[in-house]
Structure 1
Amino acid sequence: MTSPVRTRREGGILEVTLDRPKANAIDLATSRVMGQVFADFRDDPDLRVAIITGAGGKFFCPGWDLKAAAEGDAVDGDYGVGGFGGLQELPNLNKPVIAAVNGIACGGGLELALSADIILAADHATFALPEIRSGTVADAASVKLPKRIPYHIAMELLLTGRWFDAEEARGWGIVNHIHPADQLMDQAWDMARLIASGPPLVYAAIKEIVREAEDKKFQDTMDQITGSKFETVKRLYSSEDQLEGAKAFAEKRDPVWKGR
């Protein structure tokens, strides 16, 4: 059988393409494959940045495969190591992920995009959380959206399931940048190359701090940092890269990051 996920690797960048015609919907088996792909990305020391996108020009991902559910896929079944879509519950993912939303992103597809660190959208991309219409809950979005955009807007999107376009998504801060459809992947790769050229140990520290600080008070998180409670921060402060950054600055040259 053809894999529902295609990957392309260039240097420290991994492109992950959800390719499950006709609409790139995710069933349990696909979610497990995606989880393994992202777990391998997390654990590969040579990979620094990932891009997630959808095959074709119409759909990024419409989320949960309702046809598969009707045929027996349980909504509370085994989604794999990373939870639904392989990203949103993957432990210790301390590398940046870019979502290149190339079309419709609704339900779990929007939740998948929200699991990335940066979201780029094609100018024709549209978004919605229509779970309310199928009698279920957009659980991950219910957790994430009210923390990221104004509460009343998040609740409107969750309670009505209405569609909104890329411009509105950018206006609320859901999307970072909008690009013409034929330029989206080039822009995503340019962004990935820029990030991949940076210090990977710093990125790891940023991601762990942001993740751990989400439900903590400011001072509690700062105490953890200064108390060397974060493994990524401890590793950074004792690394060759930390010294290289200072040397490069003093010598007025570009640093050479080794990730160690």
Structure 2
Amino acid sequence: MSEEVLVEKADGVMVVTINRPDAKNAMNKSAAEAISAAMDDLEADGDVAVGILTGAGGTFCSGMDLKGFLKGESPFVENRGFGGLSQWTPKKPLIAAVDGYALAGGMELALSCDLIVANDKAQFGIPEAKRGLAAAAGGLIKLPRQMPWRIAMELALTGDFISAARAYELGFINRVSDGPSLDAAKELAAKIAANGPLALAASKGVIRDSHTWTDEEMWTKQQQYVAPVFVSEDAREGAAAFAEKRKPEWKGK
């Protein structure tokens, strides 16, 4: 794993930290590849239920590393997109913990996570239009699906930032913290990690994918995700634990 991305695991939660604070955690090729590798680790580790993506030094991610860009680097991973994440998602839940700025590609990384927790001083934006560019790593596609359409249009056309408080009002982020976002993200992750891993993956899958389903196919499509959950050992364990008034012991099968 690159030193530009740090990984820690504890209590069923993996924390992936973009570790380029001197560059405001701007994304370069090696960091993107390291995030992609961390996501593979998240998927493979049966002791980890939830991932958190955050940034070191008080900034989430300021976007693409322009110095790397000028050297011919691309902070994209094949089939996974910007930062190894914008065109792909792991099956397990992933939380963005945002301090400082989540701008341009950094905003698009946050958009690619399932949940967002932010410090109350955090700022979000896709300012590409101010530089004659467009937020092509998912911002233009995902933003109008995650906040009101006209607000997304305004952010894309003006390039202006919004505060964490405004983002929360719009339903774009889950929680605002007056302390480090990572602390609040870990609290949220702990609640998620206490639940059945198969149920988590199926629930995420349906919510993330169902926007493409027609009314005629949505029940059939949903069944493909949830049917294995109901016949799993974990389903029986969850019911037994409830009846016996004890904490369930998940096996992920």
Same fold (TM over 0.5): yes
What is the correspondence of 1:1-260 to structure 2 with a 5 Å cutoff? Answer: 3-20=3-20, 21-57=22-58, 59-74=59-74, 78-80=76-78, 82-90=80-88, 93-139=90-136, 140-182=138-180, 184-226=181-223, 229-230=224-225, 233-260=226-253
Deviation of 1:80 (Å): 4.3
What RMSD over aligned residues (CA atoms) do the two structures have, in Å? 1.9
Where do 4+ consecutive residues of structure 1 move more than 4 Å? none
Deviations 1:17-48 (A, max 9, x none): 00112210001222111111112211222211
Deviation of 1:259 (Å): 1.5
The gaps in structure 1 that reach 5 residues or longer are: none
What is the identity, as a one-letter code, of the residue corresponding to 2:67?
Answer: K
Tell me how far apart the structure 2 counterparts of residues 4 and 199 of structure 1 sit (CA, whole Å). Answer: 32
Deviations 1:177-200 (A, max 9, x none): 111134x32221121111111111
Deviations 1:127-159 (A, max 9, x none): 111111222211201111112211111100001
Tell me how far apart the structure 2 counterparts of residues 194 and 127 of structure 1 sit (CA, whole Å). Answer: 26
Deviation of 1:116 (Å): 1.1
Q: How many residues align?
A: 251
Deviation of 1:165 (Å): 0.9
Tell me how far apart the structure 2 counterparts of residues 211 and 189 of structure 1 sit (CA, whole Å). Answer: 22
What is the identity, as a one-letter code, of the residue corresponding to 2:234?
Answer: D
**Given the two structures, how large is their TM-score scaled by the length of structure 2?**
0.92
Contact 2:2 2:34 (C-alpha < 8 Å) held by counterparts: no
**Given the two structures, how large is their TM-score scaled by the length of structure 1?**
0.90
The gaps in structure 2 that reach 5 residues or longer are: none
SS for the counterpart of 2:9 is strand
Contact 2:14 2:48 (C-alpha < 8 Å) held by counterparts: yes
Tell me how far apart the structure 1 counterparts of residues 77 and 247 of structure 2 sit (CA, whole Å). Answer: 43
Greater mean alpha carbon deviation, residues 64-73 or residues 210-219: 210-219
